Amino acid sequence: MTLQEHAAQTAATKDITTASFRQDVIAESMSQPVLVDFWAPWCGPCKQLAPALERAVSSSKGRVRLTKMNIDDHPQIAGQLGIQSIPAVIAFDKGQPIDGFVGALPESQITDFIERLVGKLPGGTKELLEAAAALVEVGDVPQAMEAYGNVLLEDPGNTAAIGALARLYIDAGNMDAAKGYLESVPADREKDPEIVAARAALDLAEQASSIGDLGALEAAISANPNDYQSRFDLAVALAAAGDQERAVDALIEIVKRDRAWNDDGARKQLIQFFEAWGPMDEMTKAGRRKLSALLFR
């Protein structure tokens, strides 16, 4: 981002008060959507959200406005809207609150939120990310890496691109490159889902690299079904090889037989699988159902 772009972005973000709310939000929203970011100086997630929110609003090219209200100084509006935790962002249109979210969402999800208000945004990092993901889908990894690299040229802290590049290098067996990208993550973005998933995938790949022949592990389990270490190692190796269902089932079997084994290690490893695969992955959903059915029967 150039200095001029940063200045324009900062100018587009307006601090508001209880007294100015009617003019700065209600009246302004008659002509375009206005976002109100409710925050406080002591709120860590608020500081994490702010730059991503400002970038996403800036990419709308003026189709939405951003305002900020410090609830420590001006608690009345937040109270009237029933806001109980921050950061909270409420969108106003035609004088009415129409949508919102709570928490420090990643920039991609904030962009999705804005697009629900004003329609698809032209250009920007979102389209570059979509193009890169499409290249991954068709197996063109070199071009996908270049596309994600272009995202980082425009937005060096973009965790969606960092996480995706790290995953591609993990899949290619280049752990050092993956670690290098993950080390570039800004400290306040470490908990972004793309980074959590990439770190979990890296840990999983490093675990799997030290595991021996699958056939030997399967033979050990066949000879002794209570050989939990072999069953655990098999699960890790299967997950690294992409056999998610068998990996989940192997760990579920350990939990079923001996939940306390290795300090609840099988359940903890399942959670790492789910983090690596992401919450929307079908095997994450299926695995969580299996685990819940076992733990809460």
Active site residues: 43, 46
Q: In whole angstroms, give the CA distance from residue 116 to residue 97.
A: 14
Angle between the N-to-C axes of helices 159-171 and 124-137, in degrees from 0 to 180, rounded to the nearest 10? 20
Helix, strand or coil, per DSSP, at residue 16: coil
Q: In whole angstroms, give the CA distance from residue 69 to residue 113.
A: 19
Specify whether the CB–CB gap between 122 and 145 falls below 8 A.
no
Q: Which residues does residue 101 pair with via DSSP β-bridges, in sequence order?
A: 89
Exposure b/e, 48-81, CB count within 10 A at least 16 = b:
bbbebbbbbbbbbeebbbbbbbbbeebeebbeee
Q: In whole angstroms, give the CA distance from residue 9 to residue 23.
A: 21
User: DSSP string spanning 110-138?
Assistant: HHHHHHHHH-PPPSHHHHHHHHHHHHHHT
**Matching residue, tokens 């609150």:** 97
List strands edge to edge, sheet with 13-15.
13-15, 65-70, 34-39, 88-93, 96-102
Specify the amino acid at residue 69: M
State residue 13 phi and psi, 5-degree precision: -100, 120
Residues recorded for the chain? 297
